[in-house]
Amino acid sequence: MRLTTKGRFAVTAMIDVALREGAGPIALAAISARQQISLSYLEQLFSKLRRKKLVASTRGPGGGYSLGRKSEDITVADVILAVDEPIDATGCGGKINCMGENTGRCLTHDLWMSLNEKMIEHLSAISLRKLVDEQHAKGVSVQERSIKRGISSRPVVEPIKVSRPNSVFSLAEADPTE
């Protein structure tokens, strides 16, 4: 199996989102900064994850990404397969006649196909919830951000004073000595 950065980064980013599950939508820029993953790369990965409904996006201020399903319902295999990461240990890509049309399979074809099945079985048995719980057991703490929406509860202490004209029409009314 050749697991590239695409699959590893997707799993890492999904754990980051799952760790902050109760904090509301998580901005990709925040994940990028915490996990040292390029923002443009994360955008590509999350586009694929969103299409497979593993994450949900929220637009606007305070927006970002949250899990599309419960963390216990998302497996590592789901994440890796969602970003088009092939889980294949064979050299032939799983072709039936990998040695040619008349020769059939290579001698180790069944061995590598069996390994593929075991890898998918193993990755399908690991949920994001399990990985999050392991991070908590290691002492990883996550600072929850408070979600503030709506009108501020603090009153404005001083009114804003406009010292310059704010339109062409008020230029005529402006004091030329200023």
Tell me the average confidence (pLDDT) per consecutive run of 10 residues in the chain, 178 residues long.
Answer: 82 95 90 94 95 93 92 95 78 60 70 86 95 91 57 55 61 59
Q: Write down the pLDDT at residue 48.
A: 95
Placement of tokens 């397969």 in the chain = 81
Q: Write down the pLDDT at residue 19.
A: 93
Residues 39 and 156: their CA atoms lie apart, in Å, by 37
Q: Write down the pLDDT at residue 147.
A: 47
The model's pTM: 0.72
Q: Write down the pLDDT at residue 125.
A: 96
The helix (run of H) or strand (run of E) holding residue 19 is helix 5-19
CA atoms within 13 A on the CB side of 14: 37
Residues 1 and 122: their CA atoms lie apart, in Å, by 13
